[in-house]
Amino acid sequence: MSGCLLPPNYFFIFQTLEHADLQDIVAIAFFLLLTALASILVILLKAIGRKHEEVFGIYKLWRGLLLTAFSVHIEWHGDLPEAPSILMGNHRSYLDVLMLPTNFPFVYVGKIEVRQWPFIGWGGRALETVWVDRSNAHSRNNVRVQVKERLTHNKAVCLFPESTTTAGPELLPFKPGMFKTAADNGFPITAIAMEYETSDMAWVGDSLFFPHLVRTLGKKEYKVKVGIRQTKIYHNATEAVEDTHQWIQEKVIAFRRDWDIA
């Protein structure tokens, strides 16, 4: 179950920082400043009519700087996809977006609650994020239409079919809607399995976003294993759900075993 996703409360943010040490404050300040700058740039580029590929370049730069600044060590297993597809990954944290392959532009499917967040939500809109209200059937159907449109125009789509974060290593059942869209239209699926070295990276339960972010960014380094499966095309939605879920589950458990032994 995902952490507590609430709009930013600035008084609460200041309270959180009041109890943080200097390293945590410097880390969160760098993250917020870099995120604000990147969001402003993507919004400006979108406003003047730049192509999605150019706007996405700012996201890639933002991602690369964060991975370097916070000493994120990604151990890759498998080859990066050679063409756009639907990237289906298990979901541990809001940081999962940094761990995905970015050798071509893609768009995210994200929760509607984040759309109004300063900078993160604004930048997400400029990056053509597809927003979904999971409690609304019309919204879910509209997402499938938008995803189909983006894939038809040769853009990859990234989503987390569990639809929420979990501590793992066990996966939740996958939501079948996007698998049906893929099977009906022959869209390729690339399965992504991610497992962090430490379980406290997972954002779950009643954990509030900002305190968890401060604790997470205050770490000296992060290690994560990322497995990438060869892209597959399915013609049956049920088979797509079961096969993708099984592969990711087995990979995540193997990664967890490796971390526990190390």
State pTM to two decimals.
Answer: 0.85
Q: In what order do the strands lie in the sheet with 86-89?
A: 72-77, 222-228, 189-196, 86-89, 156-159, 106-111, 130-132
The domain made up of 10-261 has a fold known as: Glycerol-3-phosphate (1)-acyltransferase (3.40.1130)
Q: For the chain (length 262 residues), average pLDDT per consecutive 10?
A: 49 51 80 89 90 87 90 92 89 86 78 74 76 78 82 84 87 92 92 91 75 79 93 96 98 95 79
Residue 196 bridge partners (DSSP): 224
Cβ 74 vs Cβ 197: under 8 Å: no
Confidence (pLDDT) at 19: 59
Tokens of 231: 């892209």
Domain limits, the chain: 10-261
Q: Mapped to the 3 state alphabet, what secondary structure does 218-254 carry?
A: CCCCEEEEEEECCCECCCCHHHHHHHHHHHHHHHHHH
Where does the chain have alpha helices with state H? 10-18, 22-47, 52-69, 120-126, 137-152, 177-185, 209-217, 237-261
Helices marked H in 70-164 = 120-126, 137-152
Amino acid 100: pLDDT: 83
What amino acid is encoded at 10 in this protein? Y
